[in-house]
C-alpha cells in the first residue's frame, strides 16, 4: 500500500541552526511530492513541490527539499531556522496514475528555541 | 489572492445533533476535499468532489456525507454527531486533477461533540 513516513514526531532546534525534516514514501513509481506547513490554528500552506526534473527544489520561506529516488525520500531542509518557522510540517505524495488521492504523513512538529 | 473559507472556526455540538460544515472557494477549482486532522494521524480524507454533484468516498467516509450543489461550495454533513467525531476538519480545493495540483486549504473547523 502507498504510504508516507515522517519518522520524527517532534524536533527542537535553536534559532539560527540548520534543519532537516525527513520524509520517506512507499510507492511503485515516482509520485508527485509536496511539503506543507501548518502554523498554529491555521490551515496548511504549500512550501514546495516536486513533479520532475531537478531533484533539488526551492520553496518559500527559504526552504528546499531534495528528492532521492534510490532512498524514496524527500527531505526538507533550511540552513538557518527562524523563530517564525515553529509549526507542523507535513509531507505528502500523489501518485502519478491519475488519482486525486493525496497521501499525507503524520507530521513533524518543529519547536524553535530562542 | 486565493481563498478557501470555512464558515465556522469552532463549533460545539451535542451527541446526535446534525452538523453542517461549510466550505467556499473563490478560485473556480474543480476539485474540493474534506479532511479530518487528528494528532498523530495526520490528515485523512473523508470525501472529495471533482465536479458539481459528483463525489467520491475517501478513506474514512463512515458517519459523514457531503453535498456539492455549486462549484464553489462543498459541505460536510454529520447526520448524527458522535463524540469520536470531535476533531479538526480541513477543507481544500485544487485546480488540476490527477496531475498533482497544489491543494489550497481553509483555516479549519474545530468541532467538539459533547
Residue-by-residue pLDDT tens, chain B, 114 positions: 669 999 899 999 999 999 999 999 998 888 999 999 998 898 999 999 988 988 999 999 999 999 999 999 999 999 999 999 999 999 999 886 555 578 999 999 999 999
**Which candidate from B4, B45, B106 shows the least CB-CB separation from A101?**
B45
Model confidence pLDDT, tens digit, residues A57-111: 999 999 999 999 999 999 999 999 999 999 999 999 887 766 667 889 999 999 9
Instruction: Pick the closest to residue B13 from B85, B100, B90, B103 (CA basis).
Output: B85
CB contact under 8 A, A43 and B90: yes
Mean pLDDT of chain A: 91
Cell numbers describing residue B81: 454527531
Cell of B90: 480541513
Q: What is the distance between the alpha carbons of residues A8 and A19, in angstroms, rounded to a whole number?
A: 12
Ramachandran angles phi, psi of B27, nearest 5°: -110, 5
- Contact by Cβ (8 Å): B74, B66: yes
Smallest Cα distance from A114 to chain B, Å = 26
Contact by Cβ (8 Å): B76, B52: no
Measure in Å the smallest separation between the Cα of A19 and chain B Cα atoms: 21
Amino acid at each position: 500500500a502507498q504510504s508516507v513516513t515522517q519518522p520524527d514526531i517532534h524536533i527542537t532546534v535553536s534559532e539560527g541552526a540548520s534543519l532537516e525534516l525527513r520524509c520517506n514514501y512507499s510507492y511503485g513509481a515516482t509520485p508527485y511530492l509536496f511539503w506543507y506547513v501548518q502554523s498554529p490554528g491555521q490551515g496548511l500552506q504549500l512550501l514546495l513541490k516536486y513533479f520532475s526534473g531537478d531533484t533539488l527544489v526551492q520553496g518559500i520561506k527559504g526552504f528546499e527539499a531534495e528528492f532521492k529516488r534510490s532512498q524514496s525520500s524527500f527531505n526538507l531542509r533550511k540552513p538557518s531556522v527562524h523563530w517564525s518557522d515553529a509549526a507542523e510540517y507535513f509531507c505528502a505524495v500523489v501518485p502519478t496514475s491519475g488519482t486525486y488521492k493525496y497521501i499525507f504523513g503524520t507530521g513533524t512538529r518543529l519547536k524553535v528555541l530562542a | 489572492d486565493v481563498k478557501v473559507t470555512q464558515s465556522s472556526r469552532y463549533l460545539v455540538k451535542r451527541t446526535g445533533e446534525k452538523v453542517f460544515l461549510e466550505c467556499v472557494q473563490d478560485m473556480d477549482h474543480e476539485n474540493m476535499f474534506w479532511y479530518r486532522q487528528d494528532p498523530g494521524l495526520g490528515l485523512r480524507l473523508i470525501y472529495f468532489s471533482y465536479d458539481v454533484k459528483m463525489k467520491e468516498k475517501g478513506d474514512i467516509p463512515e458517519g459523514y456525507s457531503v453535498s456539492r450543489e455549486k462549484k464553489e461550495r462543498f459541505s460536510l454533513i454529520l447526520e448524527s454527531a458522535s463524540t469520536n467525531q470531535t476533531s479538526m476538519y480541513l477543507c481544500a480545493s485544487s485546480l488540476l486533477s490527477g496531475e498533482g495540483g497544489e491543494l489550497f486549504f481553509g483555516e479549519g473547523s474545530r468541532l467538539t461533540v459533547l
